């Protein structure tokens, strides 16, 4: 039971269950108040020629009340789970209120259109009631969506945010020990890649479509791997080829030295990800890079973007590595 209470908004649940029931009860009471002025049976469907289908008063009232309750529950209950985003819960709460009121409006228009008639075949749905009620239902739903305050609970994300805040308070230098950047090849490289693959693919489209598609896919894959995302923090260095494929993960304590250098991609096997012997590199171009010497004798090289960013990455890596060694952290794998 405790888990259920922690997973749902109790106030929203009470409203979601109770409002459609109270609305349906109000409809039933009002229907019985005007029953003496209604024909028997009641019209429930109309065509261009007039009323086409009929039903007894108790059936119309019972089915109408059930429709109000079921329609309201179907939407309003979507705003109850705390796991859903607050914006979605607001929308569902407003939409559920509007839908419940709209169904009630339609039923009221059906009854009002038959008041004072002896024969339901001469009846019509009251357009004034339908229009006024629909407008009120829409406006009240918008108001409900705006004023409904999603019940916020403390979550794991809040714990993490609190932990990070406390760490920053205890150690103001923490913010300086985090670097995240993207590096990519020069624009001329992408132009050359496009000329070498996309133009031949365009020529091959008519004759060999599958080969053209293969060339385009190869060009996109090659272009993607000329991008890299570099992340440095107190845990160490992580490098992601194409932005999401992790190719390097070096714990801070496993770093012996980090040095900014001007490198040639050819010295490390070319552009992209390369691994040969004790050297691993991800270079998107020749130029500024960061060369990392590991405590196990291996060496890594990664493009640093500009000379300034490469120097900053190397400086942060040296600082976090020295702190990890002072704290006695394991070197990892």
Domain match, 12 and 143 both: yes
187, pLDDT greater than 60: yes
Write the pLDDT tens digit of every residue in 160-169.
777 777 766 6
Domain match, 181 and 307 both: yes
Residue 15 lies in a domain: yes
Domain match, 137 and 179 both: no
Residue 27 lies in a domain: yes
Output the DSSP codes for 13-41.
HHHHHHHHHHHHHHHHHHHHHTGGGS-SS
Range name among 95-99, 168-172, 323-327 with the lowest pLDDT average: 168-172
d(CA 27, CA 65): 7
Domain that includes residue 143, residue range: 2-147
Burial of residue 291 (CB within 10 Å: 0-12, 13-18, 19+) is: buried
Domain match, 125 and 47 both: yes
Give whole-number Cα distances, 21 to 67, 129, 168, in Å.
Answer: 11, 22, 51
Domain match, 179 and 133 both: no
Domain match, 175 and 319 both: yes
Do you know the residue count of the chain? 333
* Whether pTM exceeds 0.85: no
36, pLDDT greater than 50: yes
Residue 218 lies in a domain: no
pLDDT band at 172 (very low <50, low <70, confident <90, very high): low
d(CA 114, CA 111): 5
b (16+ CB within 10 A) / e for 315-332: bbbbbbbebbbeeebebe
Q: What is the pLDDT of residue 333?
A: 38
Residue 192 lies in a domain: no
pLDDT band at 332 (very low <50, low <70, confident <90, very high): very low
Q: What is the pLDDT of residue 292?
A: 92
Q: What is the CATH number of the domain that holds 234?
A: 2.30.29.30
Q: What is the pLDDT of residue 70?
A: 93
Q: What is the pLDDT of residue 290?
A: 92
Residue 164 lies in a domain: no
Domain match, 118 and 177 both: no
Domain match, 142 and 240 both: no
Residue 243 lies in a domain: yes
Q: How many domains does the chain have?
A: 2
Give the number of C-alpha atoms closer than 13 A to the C-alpha of residue 31, restricted to the C-beta side.
25
Q: Which long-range contacts (CB under 8 A, 24 or more apart) does 236-239 make?
A: 236/320, 236/321, 236/324, 236/332, 237/292, 237/300, 237/302, 237/317, 239/282, 239/302
Residue 217 lies in a domain: no
Q: What is the pLDDT of residue 328?
A: 67
H/E element, 88: helix 86-112
pLDDT band at 6 (very low <50, low <70, confident <90, very high): low
Domain match, 35 and 175 both: no
- Are 292 and 257 within 8 A, CB to CB? yes
Domain match, 176 and 306 both: yes
Write the pLDDT tens digit of every residue in 64-94.
999 999 999 999 888 888 878 888 888 998 9
Domain match, 176 and 105 both: no
Q: Minimal CA–CA distance to 183: which of 287, 292, 259, 300?
A: 287
Q: What is the mean pLDDT of the chain?
A: 83
Domain match, 13 and 117 both: yes
Residue 210 lies in a domain: no
């Amino acid at each position: 039971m405790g888990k259920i209470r922690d997973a749902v908004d109790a106030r929203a649940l009470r409203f979601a269950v109770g409002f459609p029931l109270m609305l349906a009860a109000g409809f039933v009471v009002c229907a019985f108040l005007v029953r003496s002025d209604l024909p028997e049976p009641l019209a429930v469907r109309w065509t261009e020629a007039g009323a086409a289908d009929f039903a007894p008063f108790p059936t119309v009232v019972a089915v109408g009340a059930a429709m109000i309750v079921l329609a309201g529950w179907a939407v309003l209950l979507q705003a109850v789970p705390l796991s859903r985003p607050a914006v979605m819960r607001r929308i569902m709460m407003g939409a559920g209120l509007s839908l419940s009121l709209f169904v009630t409006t339609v039923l009221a228009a059906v009854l009002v259109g038959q008041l004072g008639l002896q024969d339901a075949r001469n009846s019509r749905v009251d357009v004034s009631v339908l229009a006024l009620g629909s407008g009120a239902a829409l406006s009240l739903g918008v108001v409900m969506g705006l004023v409904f305050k999603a019940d916020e609970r403390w979550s794991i994300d809040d714990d993490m945010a609190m932990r990070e805040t406390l760490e920053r308070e205890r150690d103001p230098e923490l913010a300086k020990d985090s670097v995240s950047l993207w590096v990519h090849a020069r624009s001329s490289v992408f132009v050359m890649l496009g000329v070498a693959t996309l133009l031949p693919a365009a020529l091959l489209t008519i004759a060999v479509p599958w080969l053209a598609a293969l060339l385009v896919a190869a060009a996109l894959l090659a272009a993607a791997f000329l991008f890299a995302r570099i992340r440095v923090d107190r845990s160490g260095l992580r490098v992601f080829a194409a932005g999401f494929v992790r190719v390097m993960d070096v714990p801070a304590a496993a770093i012996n030295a980090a040095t900014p250098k001007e490198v040639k991609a050819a010295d490390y096997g070319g552009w992209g990800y390369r691994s040969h012997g004790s050297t691993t590199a991800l270079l998107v171009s020749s130029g500024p890079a960061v060369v990392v010497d590991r405590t196990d004798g291996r060496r890594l090289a990664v493009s640093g973007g500009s000379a300034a960013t490469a120097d900053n990455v190397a400086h942060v890596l040296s600082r976090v590595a020295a702190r990890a060694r002072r704290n006695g952290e394991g070197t990892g794998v």
